[in-house]
Structure 1
Amino acid sequence: MTTTVDRIAEEAERLTTTIAATDPSAPVPNCPGWTAQDLLAHVTEVHEFWGQLLATGARTDEDSESIEAAKVPMPEGDGAVEALVPRRQAATATLVEQLTARDEAEPLWTWFSADQSVGFARRMQLHEATMHRVDAELAAGKPLTPIDPEVAGDGVAQVIEVMHASAYDWIPEWATVEQLATLTLTPTDAGQPVEVEISRWGGALGRATARRSAPSSRDRCRPTPTPGACRTPAHPPTPPRSTCGSGAAASRSR
Structure 2
Amino acid sequence: MNGKALIDQTRLLDVLEIEATVLAETVDGAREELRIPNCPGLTVGETARHVGSGYRVALEWIRTGDSPETWQREPGPFQSLRDYVISGVRELVDELSRHEPSEPCSTWWAADSTYGFWRRRMTHETVIHRVDVQAAMDLEIGEIADDIAVDGVDEILTLWLGHRLTVQGVVGTRDGTVAVRTGEKAWLVRVTTGGLGAWRVPGTDIDRTDRSRIDAEITGPPSNVYRYLWGRMPEIAVHREGDIDAINQMWALLRVATR
Q: Shorter-normalised TM-score: what interval? A: 0.5 to 0.7
Contact 2:75 2:84 survives alignment (8 Å): no
Where does residue 155 of structure 1 map in the other structure?
A: 152
**Offset at 1:201?**
4.3
Q: 1:201 and 1:87, CA in 2 relative to 1: closer, same or farther beyond 3 A?
A: same
**Sequence identity percentage:** 24
| Distance in 2 between residues matched to 1:194 and 1:87, nearest whole Å | 37
Given the superposition, is the C-alpha separation of residues 178 and 198 from structure 1 closer, same or farther in structure 2, using an over 3 Å criterion?
same
After TM superposition, the score normalised by the length of structure 1 is: 0.67
Q: How many Å apart are 1:57 and its aligned residue? A: 4.9
Which of 123, 126, 150 does residue 126 from structure 1 map onto?
A: 123
CA spacing shift, 1:83–1:193, aligned 2, 3 Å: closer
TM-score scaled by length of structure 2: 0.66
1:137 to 131, 134, 141: 134
2:168 is aligned to 170
1:16-31 alignment runs, 5 A limit? 16-31=24-39
Amino acid at match of 1:72: Q
Over aligned residues, Cα RMSD in angstroms? Answer: 2.9
Shift of 1:200: 3.3
Query: Which protein, 1 or 2, shows the higher relative CO under an 8 Å CA cutoff with sep ≥ 6?
Result: 1
Larger radius of gyration: 1
Contact 1:182 1:198 in 2 (8 A): yes
Distance 1:178 1:113 in 2: 27
Unaligned 5+ segments in structure 1 are 203-226, 231-247
User: How many residue pairs get matched?
Assistant: 194
Whole-angstrom distance in 1 between the partners of 2:42 and 2:173: 34
Partners of 1:249 and 1:44 lie apart in 2 by 27
Closer, same or farther: CA 151–136 of 1 in aligned 2, 3 Å: same
State the match for 2:188 in structure 1.
Answer: 195
Deviation per CA, 1:150-203, whole angstroms, max 9, x where unpaired? 10111111112211111112228xxx888610101122xx3143221123349x
> Could you tell me whether the CA contact under 8 Å between 2:172 and 2:191 is conserved in 1?
no
Does 1:74 pair with 2:82? no
CA contact (8 A) 2:104 2:113 kept: yes
Q: Give the drift of 1:3.
A: 2.1
Q: CA deviation at 1:84?
A: 2.6
Partner residue of 2:22 out of 5, 10, 14: 14
Counterpart residue number, 1:3: 11
2:111 to 108, 111, 114: 114
C-alpha contact (below 8 Å) 2:27/2:82 kept by paired residues: no
